[in-house]
A and B are shown apart, each in its own frame.
Chain A
Amino acid sequence: MSSAPALVLQFLELILALLAAPLLTGWVNQCRAWLGNRSAPPLTQFYRQLAKLFEKEVVLADNASSLFRAAPYVIFACMALASMIVPTLSTDLPFAPAADAIALVGIFALARVFAALAGMDIGTSFGTMGARREMLIGFLAEPALLMVFFTASLISHSTSLSTIVETLGQREFAIYPSLAFAGVAFTMVSLAENARIPVDNPTTHLELTMIHEAMILEYSGRHLALIEWAASLKLYAYSCLGLALFFPWGIPETTGPLSMLVALSSLVLKLAIGGFLLALIETLSAKLRIFRAPEFLGTAFMLAVLAMLVHQLLETAT
Chain B
Amino acid sequence: MNGHLPLYAQVINLLAAMLLLLSFAMLAQRRILSLINLFMAQGMVLFASTVVVAAATGQHHLYWSALLTLVLKVMLLPWILHRLIRRLNVKWDVETLINIPTTMMIGLVLVIFSFNLALPISALAGTITRSTLGVALAAVMLAFLMMITRSKAVPQVIGFLAMENGLFFAATSATYGMPMVVELGIALDVLVGMVILGVFFFQIREQFDSLDIRHLEQLKED
* Residue A94 CB within 8 A of the other chain: no
Q: Which residues of B contact A171 (CB under 8 A)?
A: 3
Could you jot down 28 A-B contacts, CB within 8 Å?
Answer: A171-B3, A172-B3, A174-B1, A175-B14, A177-B14, A177-B17, A180-B17, A294-B101, A298-B101, A302-B24, A302-B107, A302-B108, A305-B108, A306-B21, A306-B24, A306-B108, A309-B111, A310-B135, A313-B115, A313-B119, A313-B134, A314-B2, A314-B13, A314-B16, A314-B17, A315-B2, A315-B13, A317-B130
* Residue B81 CB within 8 A of the other chain: no
Partner pick for A313 among B14, B24, B107, B131, CB 8 A cutoff: B131
* Residue A187 CB within 8 A of the other chain: no
| In the bound complex, CA of A184 to CA of B17 (Å) | 13
Considering the complex, which residues of chain B in the window 11-29 have a beta carbon less than 8 Å from any beta carbon of chain A? 11, 13-14, 16-18, 20-21, 24, 28
* Residue B132 CB within 8 A of the other chain: yes
* Beta-carbon contact of A306 and B10 below 8 Å: no
With both chains docked as a complex, state the minimum distance between the C-beta of B125 and any C-beta of chain A, in angstroms: 11
* Beta-carbon contact of A295 and B131 below 8 Å: no
| CB < 8 Å A-B pair total | 71
* Beta-carbon contact of A177 and B104 below 8 Å: no
With both chains docked as a complex, state the minimum distance between the C-beta of A311 and any C-beta of chain B, in angstroms: 9
* Beta-carbon contact of A317 and B5 below 8 Å: yes
Partner pick for A181 among B11, B17, B28, B130, CB 8 A cutoff: B17
* Beta-carbon contact of A295 and B108 below 8 Å: no
Q: Which residues of A contact B24 (CB under 8 A)?
A: 302, 306
Partner pick for B20 among A172, A294, A310, CB 8 A cutoff: A310
Known: A302-B107, A313-B115. 6 other contacts (CB 8 A): A176-B2, A181-B21, A302-B24, A310-B20, A315-B13, A317-B130
With both chains docked as a complex, state the minimum distance between the C-beta of B65 and any C-beta of chain A, in angstroms: 23
B-side residues, CB < 8 A to A, are 1-3, 5, 10-11, 13-14, 16-18, 20-21, 24, 28, 100-101, 104-105, 107-108, 111-112, 115, 118-119, 130-132, 134-135
Considering the complex, which residues of chain A in the window 182-232 have a beta carbon less than 8 Å from any beta carbon of chain B? none
* Beta-carbon contact of B11 and A175 below 8 Å: yes
Q: Which residues of A contact B130 (CB under 8 A)?
A: 317
* Residue A312 CB within 8 A of the other chain: yes
For B1, the closest partner residue in chain A by CB is A315
| In the bound complex, CA of A298 to CA of B24 (Å) | 12
| In the bound complex, CA of A77 to CA of B205 (Å) | 63
Q: Which residues of B contact A315 (CB under 8 A)?
A: 1-2, 13
Q: Which residues of B contact A317 (CB under 8 A)?
A: 5, 130-131
* Beta-carbon contact of B2 and A312 below 8 Å: no
Considering the complex, which residues of chain A in the window 139-193 have a beta carbon less than 8 Å from any beta carbon of chain B? 155, 171-172, 174-178, 180-181
* Beta-carbon contact of B20 and A174 below 8 Å: no
* Residue A299 CB within 8 A of the other chain: yes
With both chains docked as a complex, state the minimum distance between the C-beta of B162 and any C-beta of chain A, in angstroms: 17
* Beta-carbon contact of B20 and A306 below 8 Å: yes
Considering the complex, which residues of chain A in the window 218-248 have a beta carbon less than 8 Å from any beta carbon of chain B? none
Q: Which residues of A contact B111 (CB under 8 A)?
A: 306, 309
| In the bound complex, CA of A178 to CA of B1 (Å) | 12
| In the bound complex, CA of A295 to CA of B105 (Å) | 11
Q: Which residues of A contact B21 (CB under 8 A)?
A: 181, 303, 306
Partner pick for B13 among A175, A298, A302, CB 8 A cutoff: A175
With both chains docked as a complex, state the minimum distance between the C-beta of B222 and any C-beta of chain A, in angstroms: 36
